[in-house]
Amino acid sequence: MLDLNRLIVYRDIPHSDLMYDMAALMNDADVYSDTDENRDKLYCCIGKLVQLAGEYGFEGNLWQNYLTWLLVNHENGFSTSCEIKGIPEGTILRLAELDFGIFRQMFLYDFKRLKAVCADSALDMVLNYKRSDNAGKIFNKRIRDCICSLSRTLADSINTHEFTWFMIQFYQSFGVGKFGLHKAFRVVHNEGGTAQIVPINNIAHVKLDDLVGYESAKKKLIENTEAFLNGKRANNCLLFGDAGTGKSSSIKAILNKYYGDGLRIIEIYKHQLCDLNDVIAQIKHRNYKFIIYMDDLSFEEFEVEYKYLKAIIEGGLEKKPQNVLIYATSNRRHIIKENFSDREGWSGDVHKTDTMQEKLSLSARFGVTIFFGSPIKKEYEQIVSTLAERNGVTMENEKLLQEANRWALNHGGMSGRTAQQFIDYLLGQQ
């Protein structure tokens, strides 16, 4: 007899309606009557499991995949303690083990009676499901495969104690909830106006090796990020320079390279700078390293939102958490628009020097600044040749470079972005 009302630590699990519906069907199995109502309930549950498989890319026993998905997503006192401290001690461990005993019952349930209700083999198929493609819409392949693997491991556990140990190991290795299962996030406001961190599901799979050139710039970015991940002193980082030179792509590549080491990125837009304190409060006690990422950051003279950023980076009373850094990209070296009048001997400003210091002080608070300049012709042609080779473009090299230079003249000049757009154009014509 499954009594889900006995759950304690895992009692209020989001998206658990399907679990309760299936548990009710399991409990009625001994006196199960083959009625249209009960059959409809079972097929409704089967449909929900198939929908879940389509969204997350699950395969195998979808019922066990679903239960595992609930467990790895639920942030509670036990799961977050495992993430931060390792094996928790005291009463919370014993209470969690009681809950895992109930989950293990559901994992090992014999569906023989429920299968008899299906006139076809629908239930058999969701218990041995083969997905139609290689990926779901939400999880990346690594996390999806980890959940499916954990599902099989939990099903093979010899007792509740081993089941509990497997869950502890997962929480220690991957964490729990959205921060454990996703690598990039954005900030939105809920109905109450509170800043909420939500996952970004579709991330560009850029690698640092994909960015041709800028070796010294990439090296500087890697060194700072690795120091941060290793618990050493690291600086907030500003990537500045010409448009289309790979500043944003470098940040995405850093995320993809170090995601497995616990790196997470939260993207914040300029108009959301006032939410920075709320965002940091939500992540400062988690066992991950967070980069708050601001793309194409710049301010006009009349915009004052940068004052929030200055206070957060350096100057507020509360110390910035050790697991948070700020990475920004900008086309402006000093981020805030400057005028020639700022440096002239006379202007209408009584305290001209103070005004200049105010404008320069934001960029000065980024300890690491990395310049990305437009490539010269030789570098641009090298980028084009490398990208053409990687993408299998078949064209005589002399003609390729001639067309690439013509493309650059008509599309904003020489840059890595222009080179990639040219290669994409050629691929589209093949």
Residues whose CB is less than 8 angstroms from the CB of residue 182 and which lie 6 or more positions away in sequence, other chains included: 143, 199, 200, 201, 264
CA nearest to 322, candidates 275, 284, 273? 284
Give pLDDT, residue 355: 52
182 is a domain residue: no
Q: What is the largest CA-CA distance in the chain?
A: 93
Token couple for 357: 């210091």
CA nearest to 274, candidates 193, 333, 337? 193
Contact 267, 186 (CB under 8 A): yes
Beta strands in 284-429 (DSSP E): 289-294, 324-330, 368-372
From the DSSP assignment, how many helices (H) and strands (E) are in the chain? 18, 7
81-108 pLDDT per residue, tens: 998 877 888 899 999 999 999 999 999 9
User: What pLDDT band is residue 141 in, cutting at 50, 70 and 90?
Assistant: confident
**Are residues 214 and 173 located together in one domain of the fold?**
no
The upper half-sphere exposure of residue 38, i.e. CA atoms within 13 Å in the direction of its Cβ, equals: 19
Contact 163, 110 (CB under 8 A): no
Place of tokens 């969690």: 96
**Are residues 99 and 228 located together in one domain of the fold?**
no
163 pLDDT more than 90: yes
User: What pLDDT band is residue 351 in, cutting at 50, 70 and 90?
Assistant: very low
CA separation for the pair 294, 247 (Å, rounded):
11
Give pLDDT, residue 31: 58
Instruction: Please say which residue of 177, 205, 229 terminates a domain.
Output: 177
Residue 106 has φ and ψ, to the nearest 5°, of -70, -35
136 is a domain residue: yes
Greater confidence, 181 or 98? 98
Helix (H) or strand (E) holding 224: helix 215-229
190-248 pLDDT per residue, tens: 877 888 999 887 777 888 888 887 888 899 999 999 999 999 999 988 888 888 888 88
User: What pLDDT band is residue 378 in, cutting at 50, 70 and 90?
Assistant: confident
**In which domain, by residue range, is 407 found?**
377-429
CA nearest to 383, candidates 348, 345, 340, 422? 422
**Are residues 141 and 16 located together in one domain of the fold?**
yes
54 pLDDT more than 90: no
Give pLDDT, residue 39: 78
CA separation for the pair 377, 137 (Å, rounded):
41
191 is a domain residue: no
Mean pLDDT of 162-178: 91
Per-chain mean pLDDT for the chain: 83
Instruction: Please say which residue of 121, 147, 177 terminates a domain.
Output: 177
**Are residues 257 and 348 located together in one domain of the fold?**
yes
186 is a domain residue: no
Greater confidence, 232 or 304? 232
**Are residues 217 and 93 located together in one domain of the fold?**
no
Instruction: Please say which residue of 372, 395, 413 terminates a domain.
Output: 372
**Are residues 419 and 365 located together in one domain of the fold?**
no
Beta strands in 131-234 (DSSP E): 184-189, 195-199
Mean pLDDT of 259-277: 88
Lowest mean pLDDT among 324-333, 337-346, 357-366: 337-346
4 pLDDT more than 60: yes
Torsion angle of the four alpha carbons 177, 263, 332, 374, in this order, in degrees rounded to the nearest 10? -120
Using alpha carbons, list the distances in angstroms from residue 140 to 145, 146, 219, 280. 9, 10, 27, 25
Token couple for 427: 């691929």
192 is a domain residue: no
Q: Give how many domains the chain has, as a whole number.
A: 3
Lowest mean pLDDT among 74-78, 106-110, 166-170, 351-355: 351-355
Torsion angle of the four alpha carbons 383, 389, 394, 400, in this order, in degrees rounded to the nearest 10? 10
335 is a domain residue: yes
Q: Is 207 exposed, middle or buried (0-12, 13-18, 19+ CB in 10 A)?
A: exposed
DSSP 236-264: -EEEEESTTSSHHHHHHHHHHHHGGGTEE
**Are residues 291 and 396 located together in one domain of the fold?**
no
**Are residues 154 and 90 located together in one domain of the fold?**
yes
State pTM to two decimals. 0.79
Give pLDDT, residue 135: 57
Whats the size of the chain, residue-wise?
430
Give pLDDT, residue 350: 46
- Please report, for the domain that includes residue 240, its CATH number: 3.40.50.300
Token couple for 295: 């793309």
189 is a domain residue: no
CA separation for the pair 347, 345 (Å, rounded):
7
Lowest mean pLDDT among 337-346, 359-368, 406-415: 337-346
User: What pLDDT band is residue 428 in, cutting at 50, 70 and 90?
Assistant: confident
233 is a domain residue: yes
Mean pLDDT of 101-127: 84
User: What pLDDT band is residue 35 in, cutting at 50, 70 and 90?
Assistant: low
**Are residues 121 and 216 located together in one domain of the fold?**
no
Token couple for 323: 């697991």
Give pLDDT, residue 338: 55
Token couple for 371: 């310049």
Q: Print the SS3 string covering 162-192.
A: HHHHHHHHHHHHHCCHHHHHCCEEEEEECCC
Contact 154, 160 (CB under 8 A): no
**What 8-state DSSP symbol labels residue 345?**
S
Give pLDDT, residue 136: 56
**Are residues 44 and 155 located together in one domain of the fold?**
yes
Give pLDDT, residue 161: 95
Using alpha carbons, list the distances in angstroms from residue 80 to 73, 105, 173, 282, 408. 11, 24, 12, 13, 52
**Are residues 21 and 114 located together in one domain of the fold?**
yes
**Are residues 305 and 208 located together in one domain of the fold?**
yes
